[in-house]
Structure 1
């Protein structure tokens, strides 16, 4: 590039560019790939030094700093007519423009935006993170330390430029239509010109440009064939002292619990038994079930399916554990991951997106640029590879493989289809990794989603009951009904009705055997029928909103049938069911007109119509269930979250699980760190439909909890008689005291979002005084965003609710304190909990001891387990709910923990114990 480029950075007193206060400006002027000159200015803030300190500068140096206006001309001369490049440039520029009283006219490029386009799988785009992941060159020693960020910005810019120079010319042809409003447009255009000049012979591709992929690339190269050991002893010997794992993995240590678990699973798989194993944190359960599963699959030739609840565990198995086992096991094997259709990019829809760009917003257009790069690199087409850049999640439904018109075998892109690749790998794999959701999708469709299998491993099995309830139930909202109806007909945009009308003349000429005049007449009934469905649906939800009022949930019960609104609700539901059935009749009549022909075009139409009919029928089924309030095994309720839902669910799934999973499969292995209550599996086995005679085992964690942590129960930690506002103030003051002593590094687990939000309001200013950052779920962001922010800045306190009680893995001293606000009992008034409780009562059983208490103990164990994740972890768990020592049922909680001692006392004692603990830990580390 012939132009001079200035790479610059502004360091501020504030963590965000929210004020005019800043202290240092550093810049490098680069010409022809070399530093032509550099500058740095120490700038006087408008006010004294206050707040957090975010630079390496010494405070006393500020006394010699000059106000910015005196340096104005020098800075203006330095910037000149160069291209300006920074990382997160908008904040820096707004400050400079205000201070210099100028509006920059030259090109302004932001390496944050460029890196999101050119490196779309990074997931995080902090400059230091990118420097590490991209191995950017270290700063020139002749430069001042304050110029390091400007240097890294330059090197990141070069990395984007060098990668772009390798692109085919079709990239630029496609990108051209998506850059009109983007400030980085000129960068792409300059790159394009450079390629044309430097690489005149580069061919122009007109087809889809994808990573080369062949059938041979489905799996890694196979090892020389070896016989598979017959004996279970071989499985166990892998884990034993001096065994295969210890010989080949330098950091591996044989663990008795892992040996025990692997033996039990191998027995279960080889003798067609179901097995339940509770494996404490640090057991190494992934290897303990993967090696027996791989051995069994290779020995019998029968696939083993492994189902996890969370994506992070799927990623760990695929990207960490499996590659290790490929290197150390003596035989070759094939594994794959299969996800739901919506996770994969549909290349046919993608091509349509490139053509129909006018329907996309500006952020979605920038997401298109990232995907253009990603599709040239990915082998899977899986959205989980992509960074969630702005606009991506809004764009993704337009290009995902969750496509009711898709007939994979007849698609023009079938040869390069990501979903078909994944399914082919799944068919040919020895061990297939899925998630719980896909497992239940397979059950709901009579086993039409997954390839045939007879052995199943369910990890994170404590979630299986809730997942079953979720997937075997159903829900309606204005939004999901509207989405389905819009797919059938809407006045603007792509829809079934409009697409078919456009194709009618072509279809009639290509398939003359169909009576198209009858088809067309029935097709014209769709717009009015769809409009009537939407009208009636909105009326129904207006009534449902009135019934719900200001509550968050409302359960329908038999006593409501005498309420004045019940008759009106029945009429509204009957009317909507009638209109949905009218639309179903129209679609069925269209299918019947087409029934006599099997041309490809006709099969595609019938496939689409069948998909729409299934969706509409599910709505009808949900509505019919909703007004049946006399079924003791079923519950219907309203729930207000981001939108209003009408939900239905079975309350008892043990019979379904027994029939659909345990009776059908040869062997099912269920494992988790939290399955037992006071050393008993009775609750778990009963919930999921397994007999008490099932093979079970508890495997203790190898961690020394008595040495690695302290468990403190605070007496009078929560005054349940106080108002929520009073509780929030007391809680905020307590957390601030603890966090100050722990220097942040604290996670607080709540059972209610409302208490979390109220506590945050009081807590945030208290922590700010000590320079501690506050991170709250639903305020600064959601789970993944907050976890990354917490890991980047351990001097912070993270407040989380339900989803934070499990699946959080932060080893090391980043997390050193976990505060549990309350024992995690589900509110007994939740519709599903209330209905399940009533059902148990009707059978003469005790809902508290059979439902509320066991569920709370298991969640409590999950929250407690967030602290100690490795042998090197140290820290404190604090429980503010003294019911655990005051109530008789507290022994169930305490007896389920891996620690046998605890400290109990009021606040003063707690603070003293924390100080002693942190002092002892510091001395230990010294």
Structure 2
């Protein structure tokens, strides 16, 4: 029985059902449907009517929900209820009908996550699209949504029929207490009946077995001898254009590729700013692959974001595989915590413990994913709350793969072996700095690197070369050692004590006696850690962050903090000594059965030692070269990082490698690379290149600067009501299709409240980051519904790639200056001042300009895009530093005026006007940026 309801809102205690539908689907009969509208007792929000397409007249003619009570209950009977996110529908039905429904429940949201684990999104419309299901009409209507839910259930059933009985055997430990276990029971019975001769897998080898690390590699081919081959390959009508339909050669791309080639051949570093649309990925991949094959030296590509890493691996590299005249081997390598660990998974399966229903669904998803994945990479799985809680317990972060009995099926080890043999290795900035931090013990040997998204390199270095401690981090380490319930090292040793009979009798007795110290010591560390972090929470108070400085040592709380930290260090030290003793006892025996045990004991000892070192670093506020601070996430995090990393980068990266190519769309400031070079510790004489975007910005877009909206006397510079009102005026004319970028989450929320009501009146949806969903969810909704306005803060200023008419307007509320009170920026500012530099000119202003260029670049992502960028911050024309912002942009002109003038000019442009000098525009100016 597939069920769905449409409601006035999401609160069962206050909102009401306005439409009900249920489909009865049987194998031996035609589907039957029960459907009607229900008249609510309160007005229905306009956005609900717009979303569903239900009219007020239809609801006014309808009976109340209670009038259909007996009809609904009779139709449902004792059938299994099927629906998408069904708990919500059932809560609404129970509240509206004043009943308790005892029917079995099969939720297609859970089932689709289990049987289609690699889908990125699990809204009903997204699943229907990905699985090519017949929607029978418009979604967000009860009858159609219920029908699609039934089709999703059928798709899950058909997928389940493909598995052998080992899936159901392995799933049994995850099904307890989960509402969908009846679906698995029915599916297992059907598989047994229909496929009695199907072989049953007896191993845990995930994915498809491979005969070699790089199966299917084509013959070597001819490697061109001359460097000028690269330019010819990318030029028209070169080899790439001939082999790739639709490819258009770009002069800027060829210029960049030739510069990269020259740098590799000459063993020199180079900085390249390549505007949007240059095609910089192919411009550096092509010469990198040619050089790797010609010299036999691996080239490493490091990106900041996962989307770019995936683009390189899944789009750009395959293009070159099919068009280059020679074969090559490429591999993506990530940190160990990104990979599934079979050993940890088997430990968890021995005793799943007190897992939540969401975690059980995540575990079942992993069971089916293991039968499909080639990589074991967590990025393939949906980042649901249950998965995010489960993954730390089953990833390979703390796994010593070299001494693991499951190393033959280790995803990370396989990726690492492929990385050793690859010509091109794709990593992220995080792994790059992990390698630097460990003295080159993470990555294979390499001498050539390309760093993409290089504007993030300095901040990545600060983040990854520092340390951080949190209660969550300490608890995770302790959980791996001992917990009252659930899998852990202590429980595993106790449960498998018979395996360690190879130890001499006296040695085992001493080992077992020392092992019994572990639960008490872990409890002691937990108690002390909770006390310490409660104190840190009190010290932090309502602040989002607090820098710890020498003057704090005179505060009353510092003495307590010092004692708490020393106590925690002592208890961690005691636990560490226990592990050292246990490891020492096993070292005296050479039996192979003890290899895994020794590896686990040693790994936990090193984790505890690392915690002790981090704690010592975070207490040393006298160290001038470090900045130490508290930061509020969900709970306090204690952080420390070097104030300046330029010397580290120079020594560990640039001086060590033959060539480093640094590239991004935003590196220069008013045409100068001085800030970027100085920050990274590179000589100002380092080779640089600027490649302009091929897009015609002055034809494709308009840039408006609003006068009179900002009030610098206010804390945020604006009234939220004023920003909301003007944004609504713009959005009405744009038909939605607008991205609004904020520098403050607090001001975003205030504007969202004022904006939503205004836009609802004209049928435009408001999507706020952290209000209407997470980043990926509201981005998907924005793409799906162009009649929407998306409000985003920090993470929305870059990494968003929305082409076409879906995004036609970008509003930048403020120039993105970093607040000077943030601990890291404050410390960096002090560091520069001590060197006789100006913190605003040499730090805050350059950082803001680079950020501004990123936000500005969200609009034009292809040669077909067209739209407007509107800046509400008039300081760009009123302050002397504004010239640097303006001269860093790819447009030659901008338009400035008050709100009404901007609206008139926007209307003229939308209507195809050519911006004539109309006297009625008053003081409106169309200005060439070079003349400002």
TM over 0.5: yes
Equivalent runs, 1:364-403 vs 2, <5 Å? 364-403=359-398
Which one of the candidate residues 247, 250, 256 is aligned to 1:255? 250
Distance 1:829-1:47 versus aligned 2 partners, 3 A rule: closer
1:199-226 CA-to-partner distances (Å, cap 9, x unmatched) read: 222233333263321133x435222331
CA RMSD of aligned residues (A): 3.0
Secondary structure in structure 1 of the residue aligned to 2:122 = coil
Tell me the CA shift for residue 188 of structure 1: 2.0
In the alignment, the residues of structure 1 paired with residue 64 and residue 486 of structure 2 have an alpha-carbon distance, to the nearest angstrom, of 56
SS in 1 for 2:327: coil
1:843-858 equivalences under 5 Å are 843-858=835-850
The counterpart of 2:409, out of the listed 403, 409, 416, is: 416
| Distance (whole Å) between structure 2 residues aligned to residue 579 and residue 10 of structure 1 | 56
| Conserved 8 A contact 2:403-2:599 | no
- Encode CA deviations 1:390-415: one digit per residue, 9 max, x unaligned: 41111112211123xx3324433222
In structure 2, the CA distance between the partners of 1:922 and 1:359, relative to structure 1 (3 Å rule), is farther
- Structure 1 residue 323, shift from structure 2 partner: 1.6
Residues 8 and 86 in structure 1, CA contact (< 8 A), matched pair in contact too = yes
Shift of 1:884: 0.8
Asked if residue 614 in structure 1 is aligned to residue 603 in structure 2, the reply is no
Partner of 2:802: 810
Shift in alpha-carbon separation, 1:357–1:582, aligned structure 2, 3 A: closer
TM-aligned CA deviation for residue 258 of structure 1: 0.6
Residues 677-688 of structure 1 aligned to structure 2 (within 5 Å): 677-688=669-680
After superposition, what is the alpha-carbon deviation per residue over 1:539-592, rounded to whole angstroms, capped at 9, x for unaligned? Answer: 444443444343322223333444454455444444444444444444334444
What residue number does 2:656 align with? Answer: 664
1:505-556 CA deviation, whole Å, 9 max, x = no partner? 642x313298445545554554554444444444444443444343322223
SS state of the match for residue 162, structure 1?
A: helix
TM-score where L is the length of structure 1: 0.92
Within the candidate set 340, 352, 355, 1:345 is matched to 340
**Is residue 109 of structure 1 aligned with residue 101 of structure 2?**
no
Q: Please tell me whether the aligned partners of residues 756 and 766 of structure 2 are also in contact (alpha carbons under 8 angstroms).
A: yes
1:44-103 per-residue CA deviation (whole Å, 9 max, x = no partner) reads: 555676513234567666676566667667666655665443334344445556666665
Identify which of 191, 195, 217 aligns with 1:195.
Answer: 191
Deviation at 1:165, TM superposition (A): 1.2
Shift of 1:734: 2.3
SS at match of 1:898: coil
How far is the alpha carbon of 1:863 from its aligned partner? 0.9
Query: CA shift at 1:138, angstroms?
Result: 6.8
2:128 to 105, 126, 131: 131
CA contact (8 A) 1:514 1:594 kept: no
Kindly indicate whether the alpha-carbon contact (under 8 Å) linking 2:704 and 2:902 is maintained by their aligned counterparts in 1: yes
Cα distance change, pair 679–182 in 1 and its aligned pair in 2 (3 A) = same
Residue 74 and residue 621 in structure 1: after superposition, are their counterparts in 2 closer, same or farther (change >3 A)? closer
1:475-519 deviation line (CA, Å, top 9, x unaligned): 122332233344344455444445445555642x31329844554
1:206 aligned to which of 202, 205, 213:
202
For the Cα contact (< 8 Å) 2:354–2:485, is it kept in 1? no
Whole-angstrom CA distance in 1 between matches of 2:568 and 2:66: 69
Deviations along 1:843-876, one digit per CA (max 9) or x if unpaired, are: 1122121111111110111111111111111111
Per the alignment, do residues 60 and 536 of structure 1 end up closer, same or farther by CA in structure 2, a change over 3 Å counting?
Answer: closer
Does 2:231 correspond to 1:239?
no
Counterpart check, 1:316 vs 2:311: yes
- Whole-Å Cα distance in 2 between the matches of residues 636 and 667 of structure 1? 34
Once the two structures are superposed, residues 428-473 of structure 1 have per-residue CA deviations (whole angstroms, 9 ceiling, x without a partner) of: 2111111111111111111111111111111111101001001111
Partner SS, residue 157 of structure 2: helix
Larger deviation: 366-375 or 542-551? 542-551
Give the aligned partner of residue 701 of structure 1.
693
Secondary structure, aligned partner of 1:215:
coil
Pick closer, same or farther for the CA change 1:445–1:109 going to 2, 3 Å.
same
Separation in 2, partners of 1:487, 1:75: 50
Comparing 680-689 and 478-487, the one that deviates more: 478-487
Say whether residues 1:914 and 2:911 are aligned partners.
no
Taking the TM superposition and a 5 Å limit, the aligned residue runs for 1:524-603 are 524-603=516-595
* Greater displacement, 69-78 / 687-696: 69-78
Between 339-348 and 603-612, the greater mean CA deviation after superposition: 603-612
Q: Distance in 2 between matches of 1:395 and 1:704?
A: 48
| Contact 2:303–2:452 (CA under 8 A) maintained in structure 1 | yes
Report the equivalent of 2:167. Answer: 171
SS in 2 for 1:920: coil
Mapped contact 2:550–2:622 kept (Cα < 8 A): yes
Q: Distance in 2 between matches of 1:921 and 1:422?
A: 56
| 1:656-686, Cα deviation, whole Å (9 max, x unpaired) | 1111111111111111111111111111111
Matched residue, 1:773? 765
Query: Take 1:810 and 1:126, find their aligned partners in 2: how far apart are those partners?
Result: 20
Change in CA separation of 1:685 and 1:18 when aligned onto 2, cut-off 3 Å: farther
TM-fit CA distance, 1:764: 2.5
The range that moved more, 236-245 or 619-628, is 619-628
Change (3 A) 1:617 1:736: same
SS of residue matched to 2:705: strand
Alignment of 1:458 onto 2:451: yes
Report the secondary structure of 1:183's partner residue: coil
Judge conservation of contact 1:545–1:644 (CA < 8 Å) in 2.
Answer: yes
The count of aligned residue pairs is 912
1:419-818 matches, within 5 Å, as 419-500=412-493, 506-507=499-500, 509-512=501-504, 515-520=507-512, 522-722=514-714, 727-818=719-810
> Which whole-Å CA distance do the structure 2 matches of 1:39 and 1:626 have between them?
64
| 3-state SS of 2:804 partner | coil
Equivalent residue for 2:320?
A: 325
Distance in 1 (CA, whole Å) between partners of 2:29 and 2:683 is 74
Q: Give the gaps of 5 or more residues in structure 1.
A: 1-5
1:314 deviation in Å?
A: 1.0
Q: Distance in 2 between matches of 1:871 and 1:894?
A: 22
Return the offset for 1:243: 1.2
1:3 matched to which residue of 2? none
Query: Secondary structure in 1 aligned to 2:893?
Result: coil
**Between 887-896 and 153-162, the greater mean CA deviation after superposition:** 153-162
Instruction: Please report how far the alpha carbon of residue 606 of structure 1 lies from its aligned counterpart in structure 2 after TM superposition.
Output: 3.7
Equivalent position SS for 1:358: coil
In the alignment, the residues of structure 1 paired with residue 318 and residue 73 of structure 2 have an alpha-carbon distance, to the nearest angstrom, of 54
Relative to structure 1, is the Cα distance of residues 60 and 782 closer, same or farther in structure 2, using a 3 angstrom cutoff? closer
| Bigger mean CA deviation after superposition, 239-248 or 682-691 | 239-248
Counterpart-to-counterpart distance in 2, 1:482 and 1:783: 28
Structure 2 CA distance for aligned equivalents of residues 578 and 62 of structure 1: 69
Helix, strand or coil at the partner of 1:206: coil
* Match of residue 161 from structure 1: 157
Aligned to 2:853: 861
> 1:242 deviation in Å?
1.0
Unaligned runs of 5+ in 2: 916-932
The verdict on how the C-alpha distance between 1:28 and 1:264 changes in structure 2, with shifts beyond 3 A counting, is same
1:266 alignment counterpart: 261
Cα 1:726–1:904 shift into 2, 3 Å: closer
Question: In the superposition, relative to structure 1, how do residues 643 and 85 fare at CA in structure 2: closer, same or farther (>3 Å)?
Answer: closer
CA contact (8 A) 1:11 1:54 kept: no
